[in-house]
Amino acid sequence: MAGHSKFKNIMHRKGAQDKKRSALFSKLSREITVAAKMGLPDPAMNARLRAAIIAARAGGMPKDNIERSIKKAEGGDSETYEEVRYEGFGPGGVSLIIETLTDNRNRTATNVRTAVSKNGGNLGAGGSVSHAFDRMGLINYPASAGDAEKVFEAALEAGAEDVSSSEDGHEIWTAVDSLHEVAKALEKALGEPEGVKLAWRPQTMVTVDSEGDAATLMKLIDALDDDDDVQQVWGNYDVPDAVMEKLG
C-alpha cells in the first residue's frame, strides 16, 4: 500500500477508484481488528489501534465501519491473523519488504511469490534486504498542515529525528520507541496526521531509470497491493520524473 518515489502518489490516486477503495477498507479493517484484539479496544490506551484508526480516517473509512471492526475483535469467533514479512528483489535490483496480515500462511506465501516472480522479481530469505533498511516510526501530514519550515520546527520541538517535505506532503521520522509520544506532540501543533505507523526506511536509494524496469516494477507493486493479505510494501526505489512522465 505504500512505497517510495512517484509510485506512492500513483497508487494513492488509483486508490480513489471504487475497487481500490473497497480493497483499502478491507486492509484497514483488518488492521483495526488485529490492533484491538492484541490490546485494549480503547484507542487512548492502545497506540497501535489509535494509529490504525487515524489511517482509516485518512483513507475515508466511515465511522460505522471503524466501530464494527473494533467490535469484531471482541467476538470469540473473530479471525486470527498472523503478521508475516517477506523480503525480496524487484526489477532494476530494488529491494522490497512486504508486510502481510494473514489467516492462511500457505495462501499468502503462494500469492506473494507468484506476484513477485511474474513481475521481474524474486523473494529472498528473511533478512536478505531488511539489513539495508532502518526500522523507524513514520508520521504523515498533508501539505496543507503548513510549509516546510513550520512542520520542521514542530517536528524538532516534538523530538522527531528527520523531516522530508514536498508538494505531496510531509514525512516525519522518529525512533520506534518515541513514535506515539512524538505523534501526540505533533497533533497539538499541526492537527491530526494522515498516518502514524512503523515503517522501513531505506538507507540508500536505487535509481530505476529504465522505462521497462519502471513499468514492470509498477505492475509488481500494483499486483501486491491488490492482494487483501498485503498491508504494506516498502522499497528503496527512486524513479526519475522523466521516466514517470513517459509511463503516463
How far apart CA 22 and CA 16 sit, in angstroms, is 10
Contact between 145 and 191 under an 8 Å Cβ cutoff? The reply is yes
pLDDT at 78: 62
Per-residue pLDDT band for 16 (boundaries 50, 70, 90) equals: very low
CA 226-227-230 angle, to 5 degrees, is 115
Least confident of 30-44, 115-129, 143-157: 30-44
- Domains delineated in the chain: 6-74 (1.10.10.200), 83-131+204-247 (3.30.70.980), 134-202 (3.30.70.980)
What local confidence, expressed as pLDDT, does residue 235 receive?
97
Across the range 165-190, mean pLDDT stands at: 94
CB-based burial of residue 190 (10 Å sphere; 0-12 exposed, 13-18 middle, 19+ buried)? Answer: buried
- The reported pLDDT for the residue numbered 6 is 46
pTM of the model as a whole: 0.85
Report which listed range, 13-27, 64-78, 87-101, 183-197, is most confident: 87-101
Distances (CA, A) of 224 to 14, 33, 36, 99, 100: 14, 21, 25, 10, 10
pLDDT tens digit sequence for 206-224: 999 999 999 999 999 999 9
The three grid cell numbers given for residue 168, joined into one nine-digit string: 505531496
Backbone angles phi and psi of 136, in degrees to 5: -140, 170
Under the banding of pLDDT at 50, 70 and 90, the label for residue 113 is very high
Q: How many residues does the chain have?
A: 248
**Is 159 a residue whose pLDDT tops 70?**
yes
| Whole-angstrom distance, CA of residue 228 vs CA of residue 219 | 16
> What pLDDT score does 15 carry?
45
Report the pLDDT averaged over residues 1-8. Answer: 46
State the pLDDT confidence band at 17, using cuts at 50, 70 and 90.
Answer: low
Pick the range with the lowest mean pLDDT from 65-79, 87-101, 191-205: 65-79
| Rounded average pLDDT over 88-95 | 96
At 74, the pLDDT band (50, 70, 90 cuts) reads confident
